[in-house]
Amino acid sequence: MAVLLGSIGTRKPTGTIISLVKAREIAYNWHGGQWSPLYSFASSYKSSQGERFAWLSVIGEIEDILLDKGKGKLTPKDKKDLNALKKYMLYKRYEERKEFFKEIKSRKYNK
């Protein structure tokens, strides 16, 4: 099933969202090296891809870990942590999109 990347983060995730501290801790445990999106998030909460954080890159890296290492090598706790981090990222993506469209709307009507 194909998912359009632009549609990711258009709906607010439901349930409990982990804290920034917990999200960064999980990202430190799973990043793929200095240039990975998870490393950027964990170390500085910033992205090299511009002013707005590249949530989609981080979500993509999490998906790769779940798919590649999910062939019997991830423990239930690993899967729980990675899915909690993914949910956090989806929430942040949702919040960023909400602010972006709010800003666009205010510019449009304040001219």
CA atoms within 13 A on the CB side of 45: 9
Count of the separate structural domains present in the chain = 1
Rounded distance between C-alpha atoms, residue 29 and residue 25, angstroms: 6
Q: Contact at 8 Å (CB) between 82 and 66? A: yes
23 within domain boundaries: yes
Q: What is the pLDDT along the chain (111 residues), one digit of tens a residue?
A: 334 444 555 678 888 999 989 999 999 998 888 888 888 888 876 544 444 567 778 888 888 888 887 566 888 898 899 999 989 888 888 887 787 777 777 776 665
Domain that holds residue 55: 16-100
Within a domain: 1: no
Cα–Cα dist 66/45, whole Å? 22
Looking at residue 92, its pLDDT comes to: 83
pLDDT of res. 100: 73
pTM: 0.74
pLDDT of amino acid 17: 93
Q: What is the pLDDT of residue 8?
A: 55
Cα 50 from chain centre: 15
Residue 100 — left, alpha, or beta (φ > 0 → left; ψ -120 to 50 → alpha)? alpha
Residue 82 resides in a domain? yes
Q: Is there a domain that residue 22 lies in?
A: yes
In a domain, 55, yes or no: yes
